[in-house]
Structure 1
Amino acid sequence: MTRLDLHADPVDIACALVDIPSVSGDEAVIAGAVESALGREAHLEVERVGNTVLAMTNLGRPERVVLAGHLDTVPVNENLPLRREGDVLHGLGTVDMKGGDAVFLHLAGTVTEPAHDLTFVFYDCEEVEAARNGLGRIERERPDWLRGDLAIVGEPSNAVIEAGCQGTMRIELRCTGKRAHTARAWMGVNAIHGLAEPLRRLAEYRARDVEIDGLTYREGLQAVRIGGGVAGNVVPDEAVLTVNFRFAPDRTPERAERHLREVFDGFDLSVVDCAAGALPGLSAPAAAGLIEAAGGKAAPKLGWTDVARFAALGMPAVNFGPGDPTLAHTREEHVSATEIRQVAQVLHHFLGK
């Protein structure tokens, strides 16, 4: 088993983590290495639940900060083992999100007298269906471990604090018609043609820009799939249009659905997937302290991440990690060693002061 030294340069920890393959569902080895390393730190209480590893301090501080990062990666795509070129680390997981995990592990080993009590959550199965997500399992089985005043998720954010996140909803619009031979098309009703009106409404839709806590969240409503057709000579009697709505965190899922039913009034609409967004909560004392430590700047998260799980538990949550999120899940994943150290320095200042 790889021995992780939590007192080493976080860049070296990142290198060691990347070279432990941990595709979703196969995290036992990396979870064992993380558990062993955390267990050597006398100031931490450590527990393992499946392939999720938990650690915390219990120093009686007035506030608690939760730091969470997933250990799994998407499947290998000719990007292991790690390759290091000067300041840049290339390889699977360097961005999503073993660079962030390395920072958190380094903090777990080196911040022994924190200003806030700390909880570390290193969880499995983030890259697959939500039902397998280790963070969700901890919420169900060990809810006390997820209580705090601020959550920091180490997803890649270009070393910029990204507060809150958008909600997401996927709907299906279904049109029905009547089959007929295309040679006698007037005898049928073309269901695909029936989608012309909702597509027109989509093309004319003007999405909102919403300012919350000084951050601007941009909404988006997009067709993502069309399905229909029977054969090359048959007028189709059914067609389905799938639409994705990325909504600002001032909308609840209920309000988002109500809005879509207004936009597509008159059509058969069903919700097939939904996840609430997360308000930034930057006015909370712990969040404000983190923003100050990072130079007073924050950005909105345009996308959905596990910060929403923490927001649902009643705490402000931010994404803060090294790496360009647009490189996640690509063969070209790479991260700057300088950025890993930068995130570690900011968090060390915030947590240790």
Structure 2
Amino acid sequence: MSLDLAQPLPDLLQAIVDVESVSGNEALLADLVQEALATCPHLDVERLGNNVVARTRLGRSQRVVVAGHLDTVPVAGNLPSTREDVDGVDAIIGRGTCDMKGGVAVALQLAAELATPRHDVTWVFYENEEVTADLNGLGIITAQRPELLAGDFAILMEPTSALIEGGCQGTMRFWITTTGTAAHSARGWLGHNAIHDVREVLDRLAGFEQREVTVDGLTYREGLNAVQIRGGVAGNVIPDECSVHINYRFAPDKTAEQAEAMMRELFDGFDLEIVDLSPSARPGLDLPAAKDFVAAVGGVPGPKYGWTDVARFSALGVPAVNFGPANPNKAHTDDEFCPVQDLYTCADALRRWLGATEREEA
């Protein structure tokens, strides 16, 4: 089995999608990616775990990083892929077509095709983006070989409907737990109901002002929501514990530390058990490299709602944007798909930016 990187983009996408690569099971796809890129004489290819990094060494004055993750969320009866009409749109349907093997297909084909781009390029294909941050492939590369991710600008090929989305929101998830005293519900006065005490937490959530924040010309919408609640053991027992799981999505006008301080102030009097805290990333669209890319792509950049690995690049001092095929609203859905035209739109934009001519559709 091998990947033909010169085949038409829709066929390449289907070939990649049909290699199941749910998080933790990326080895076979990483093997195929490594083997295909290793045949390109203009690329130096390295492998760290199930992360493949391919670089040009042309001595250009600038280096850009183009990255995409190989893993997907679990399959839901949506493999193998199919090519069908979706409401009048020619599309590839199947797990990972949207998030984000469409972007991977574009990056792989261009990595093989663009032997002499006007910038040196680092192409990164990495594992475990869809699971906990400690397993993320970019984090592994950063810890072991940070120089592999060095660059003047980065593009993360997350689905954006082939439009630039700048920066990303930060995310914070935490539990608040109330405690009481268990008792028989027929003699409730002998106990203390922990579920009732959660009312104060929910009142503070309901009273929180959901802000709209403009950063570098892009407007982000913040959100603070209870996403899970658990408590109680039986229908005749006063519960002695109740926990609320809360998710705060914050705009890139604040650091992760500022977001945490804000939440601790809002829920003063309660203990917060933080389970995840990932920083936001400013758009950086005022930087020269970003302006150059925006001019090549065209259109009006928008904000990224949600967290992506552009934040990791931002932390490394590399300004980054999201740009890839498919509508992000279809990510993780059972009927996710990638419009064929989005593949060509993204590929042609990257060719223009990197100084090559557009390629005809196949």
User: For 2:95, which of 71, 84, 92 is the aligned residue?
Assistant: 92
Task: Confirm or deny that 1:77 pairs with 2:57.
Answer: no
Change (3 A) 1:133 1:268: closer
Distance 1:349 1:13 in 2: 21
Distance 2:177 2:81 in 1: 47
**Alpha-carbon contact 1:11-1:341 (below 8 Å) kept:** no
Residue matched to 1:25: 24
Distance 1:127 1:259 in 2: 27
Residue matched to 1:60: 59
Instruction: Please tell me the residue identity of whatever aligns with 1:77.
Output: A
Displacement, 1:296?
A: 4.6
SS in 2 for 1:13: helix
Distance 2:205 2:283 in 1: 28
Distance 2:299 2:342 in 1: 18
Alignment deviations for residues 295-353 of structure 1 (CA, whole Å, 9 cap, x no partner): 15211111011111111111111111101122222221211111100011111111126
Structure 1: 5+ residue runs without aligned partners?
Answer: none
Distance 1:237 1:19 in 2: 49
Displacement, 1:50?
A: 2.1
TM-score normalised over the length of structure 2: 0.93
Residue matched to 1:322: 325
Residue matched to 1:10: 9
Alignment deviations for residues 41-62 of structure 1 (CA, whole Å, 9 cap, x no partner): 1111111222211101111212
Residue matched to 1:182: 185
Distance 1:211 1:3 in 2: 43
Residue matched to 2:311: 308
**Alpha-carbon contact 1:9-1:106 (below 8 Å) kept:** no
Structure 2: 5+ residue runs without aligned partners?
Answer: 357-362
Alignment deviations for residues 95-120 of structure 1 (CA, whole Å, 9 cap, x no partner): 11111011111211222221211000
SS in 2 for 1:192: helix
Distance 2:10 2:83 in 1: 11
Instruction: Please tell me the residue identity of whatever aligns with 2:260.
Output: E
Distance 1:140 1:236 in 2: 44
User: For 2:290, which of 287, 290, 294 is the aligned residue?
Assistant: 287
Alignment deviations for residues 226-282 of structure 1 (CA, whole Å, 9 cap, x no partner): 222233222222221211100111211111111111211222223222111111111
Aligned residues between the structures: 352
Instruction: Please tell me the residue identity of whatever aligns with 2:338.
Output: V
Residue matched to 1:101: 104
Task: Confirm or deny that 1:41 pairs with 2:44.
Answer: no
Instruction: Please tell me the residue identity of whatever aligns with 1:107.
Output: L
Change (3 A) 1:25 1:177: closer
Distance 2:69 2:325 in 1: 14
User: For 1:204, which of 204, 207, 220 is the aligned residue?
Assistant: 207
Task: Confirm or deny that 1:238 pairs with 2:237.
Answer: no
**Alpha-carbon contact 1:2-1:16 (below 8 Å) kept:** no
Distance 2:3 2:177 in 1: 55
SS in 2 for 1:31: helix
Residue matched to 2:359: none
**Alpha-carbon contact 2:47-2:53 (below 8 Å) kept:** yes
Instruction: Please tell me the residue identity of whatever aligns with 1:76.
Output: V
Cα RMSD, aligned residues only: 1.6
Distance 2:218 2:354 in 1: 24
Instruction: Please tell me the residue identity of whatever aligns with 2:40.
Output: E
Instruction: After TM superposition, list the pairs within 5 Å mapping 1:314-353 onto structure 2.
Output: 314-352=317-355
Distance 2:73 2:237 in 1: 41
Identity of matched residues, %: 55
Residue matched to 1:141: 144
**Alpha-carbon contact 2:2-2:36 (below 8 Å) kept:** no
Higher alpha-carbon deviation: 156-165 or 24-33: 24-33
**Alpha-carbon contact 2:163-2:299 (below 8 Å) kept:** no
Residue matched to 2:218: 215
